[in-house]
Structure 1
Amino acid sequence: MADPYSKPGLTLVSTPIGNLGDISLRAIEALRSADKILCEDTRVSKRLLEKHGIVSRLSNYHEHNAKLVRPKIIDGLKAGAKIVLISDAGTPSISDPGYQLVKACIKNDLKISTVPGPTALIAALTISGLPTDSFYFGGFLPNKRNARRKKLLEQKELETTLIFYDSAKRLLNSLKDANYCLGERSAAIARELTKIHEDVQRGNILELIEYYERNGPPKGEVVVVIGPPTKKPNVDQKELKLMLQELLSNNSLRDSVKLATDKLGVSRSIVYEQALNINKE
């Protein structure tokens, strides 16, 4: 039976998120059979095609030209072309203008098929160690603090795992905003997934803030995975203060906070704030 991509229409093909070996046989065949391949950056996509010996005409389709070239793509599909849409990495239509092309195809009653595969958000979620039965994907976190905090606060009441894309240079500020807006939660930061330097840092948000303050920001784009809110018991502030005063006399602030948090089972952010106040006295 002929595969859907062998017929005229638009096919969305997932490509590797890092390791070029993570491409399916169907994806390779779909790329080989295409009359045209739409991509974000021809230089990036050319490397993937050359690795698999695929010769095909690449054409740019990205957020800066999508509105201009979309009508021409629709005309080509109406004329019977087999067109493949890919992204630089992962599944097209996620955090890119691919969905607008799909919407235009639906409006024009054109055939659409998919060759599924890698996507960074699912890869990060599955190795984060955080709940996977329910999650919210919020795309890229905004550049500006006010917009970023607004977006985080909108998801505060969701009892589900949150996933965002972010840039390395903004990560520390994003984590601080997440701590401010969402409170103490478990989280994971995934970067360079499937590559040689694949790295996943896990802990609560404050621990991750401390880690990146010590070690500096990571390189490249990252996936931020934040666990659902956890219900913590109420804390007796007097008991907490007495415990911290004793702990701080013999331990570092970091160790004292950890010991008190573990013993009382309360929010680390509350303990940390109290410890800072004691140090200022």
Structure 2
Amino acid sequence: MLYFVSTPIGNLGDVSLRALEVLKEVDFIACEDTRTSLKFLNRYGVKKPLVSYHKFNERTAGEKLIEELKAGKNVAVISDAGTPVVSDPGNSLAERLVEEGLEFTVIPGATAFVPALILSGFDAKRFMFVGFLPDKKSEKRNALEELKGVNATLIFYCAPHDLEDTLSLMYSVFGNRRAATVKEITKLHERTERFFLADGIKEEEPRGEYVIVVEGGKTEDPDLSLSVSEHVEKLVAEGLSKMDAVKKVAKARKMPKSEVYKLSL
């Protein structure tokens, strides 16, 4: 049997009793970084052999895990923090386990996007977890364009070095929606910032992984599912002057006219 086991994302006290039971019973544990995992495992007296399983060896290491399972071994897979497979290694392994007809299960627990959704204060009845966006700006913009009409709260993961550019790009695609960033979840310095995308956030030196939560698109006006530039172009094509189109878009999106004009160039 293979177990995908959730581990704490910050506060080590968040581990479940069942997770500890499983980790102490399996034959060995596959983890992203043995040094990181040892800090957690040693805290709870888990003494099991560790093998490396990360995004750079995911397929080859995954096949070795399958061989061990076929030999009758019980295996636990953990990530550095949170739930394996969700923006962490494990997805290809789950697919292969299904293909091979091998038994596996999940020991649920901590993951960052659910607390962030709650802390944002946005609609939690309908939400879409996106995870990390592509690294290339053009691909990132395309991904956001595909999401602009989604009538659900959107949740992203973002590295600190990419935070400012990502929020700026979101503003250019989504318009002036409400957003929130959450960092250090469950840790001593947990912090939530709520703002409009036009304002951004004031981070002198962003550190640590961020969760970005963005208000979903509204379905009442289909034009709001367009990007700002597309919205202006549509109104011009319908006969409005460029300046009148800019004014109308600014009013509909609650954005400064100067910003709309800049984004429409």
TM over 0.5: yes
Partner of 2:216: 228
Amino acid at match of 2:161: K
Cα displacement string for residues 73-121 of structure 1 (whole angstroms, at most 9, x for unaligned residues): 1110011111001111111111123021111111111111111011011
Identify which of 102, 114, 121 aligns with 1:122: 114
Whether 1:76 and 2:68 are equivalent positions in the alignment is yes
Partner of 1:139: 131
1:274, distance to aligned residue in structure 2 (A):
7.7
TM-score by length of 1: 0.78
Paired residue secondary structure (2:76): strand
Identify which of 13, 19, 22 aligns with 2:14: 22
Structure 2: gaps spanning 5 or more residues: 224-249
Aligned partners of 2:164, 2:208: CA distance in 1, in Å? 13
* Structure of larger gyration radius: 1
Aligned partners of 2:119, 2:180: CA distance in 1, in Å? 9
Question: How many correspondences in the alignment?
Answer: 234
Cα displacement string for residues 203-260 of structure 1 (whole angstroms, at most 9, x for unaligned residues): 21122x1x32xx424211100110112468x9xxxxxxxxxxxxxxxxxxxxxxxxxx
Cα displacement string for residues 36-93 of structure 1 (whole angstroms, at most 9, x for unaligned residues): 1111111111000000011011111111111212221111001111100111111111
Partner of 1:176: 168
TM-score by length of 2: 0.83
Amino acid at match of 2:255: S
Structure 1: gaps spanning 5 or more residues: 1-8, 235-263, 277-281
Identity %: 39
Partner of 1:162: 154
Aligned partners of 1:143, 1:164: CA distance in 2, in Å? 13
Identify which of 186, 190, 201 aligns with 2:182: 190
CA RMSD of aligned residues (A): 2.1
**Conserved? CA contact 2:79–2:89, under 8 Å:** no
1:271, distance to aligned residue in structure 2 (A):
5.0
Partner of 1:255: none
Cα displacement string for residues 161-201 of structure 1 (whole angstroms, at most 9, x for unaligned residues): 11111111110100000000111111110000001110110
Partner of 2:206: 218
Amino acid at match of 1:104: R
1:275, distance to aligned residue in structure 2 (A):
11
**Conserved? CA contact 2:82–2:111, under 8 Å:** yes
**Conserved? CA contact 1:62–1:97, under 8 Å:** yes
Aligned partners of 2:10, 2:260: CA distance in 1, in Å? 43
